[in-house]
Amino acid sequence: MKSFAPHAIFFDLDGTLVDSVPDLAEAARRMLAELGEPTRTDAEVATFVGKGIPMMVERALTVGRGPVSAERLAQAIPVFMRHYEATNGKLTRAYPGVAETLPVLKARGLKLGVVTNKAEAFIAPLLDELGLGGFFDVLIGGDTLAQKKPEPEPLWHACEQVGVSREAVLMVGDSGNDALCARRAGIPVLLMTYGYNEGVPVDTEDCDGLLSSFTELPALLA
């Protein structure tokens, strides 16, 4: 695999830095129970993650079950948000190597950021709960801008926020959504093999390399 010489690295959150499915699934189950809908397993919810909360809620309601009205979806989203506020960070864990590797990257003088489709309100509390918040110079959520991944604007906005040109950035994610965002933004991208990727094999995605462990990242940096 080729090496990279970035001045900044931007990470996806769910499926890249943290395994958040247990909390997301519990919030989804509470939402479904409150709405009188059938429940979902953790494995099902794992395939719903990646395009932001509205899409995840819609998938929880509809996949294998048929469509719902726009009104029903609009009713369900705030219910999920309320329950996720209660579950966020309770069962989520950083993936192996993340807590050990982030300080190594910071020690090299790199700017670090999170660019995720998770709603912005949930990002900092989750990172702080896991003791990771102090490593990041910028946090971009799915509702920070009018556009979210796979549109390129969130990555470009992150570049502007840390004062680094697009040519000096690396994206690290776990899904085709991350890869497409980076491609559209003109930024190289590495994908973790342990993430979610909506049930699609990650080795089928257009990216610049695959990592099976977070600890492999520093060795790829020139």
Catalytic residue numbers read: 12
Q: Is 143 annotated as a binding residue?
A: no
CB count in 10 Å sphere of residue 56: 24
Pairing mode, strands 138-140 and 8-11: unpaired
DSSP character string of 20-65 = -HHHHHHHHHHHHHHHT-----HHHHHTTTTS-HHHHHHHHHHTTT
Find the helix packing angle between 120-129 and 70-87, rounded to 10°.
20
**CB-based contacts of 3: which residues, under 8 Å, 6+ apart?**
220, 221, 222
Q: Is 174 annotated as a binding residue?
A: yes
Nearest to 14 by CA among 61, 40, 47, 58: 47
CB 188 within 8 A of CB 170: yes
**Is 23 annotated as belonging to a binding site?**
no
Q: For strands 169-173 and 210-211, give the pairing.
A: unpaired
Identify the bridge partners of residue 192 per DSSP, sorted by sequence position. 211
The Cα–Cα gap between 178 and 75 comes to: 29
Binding site members: 12, 14, 174
Binding site members for Mg(2+): 12, 14, 174
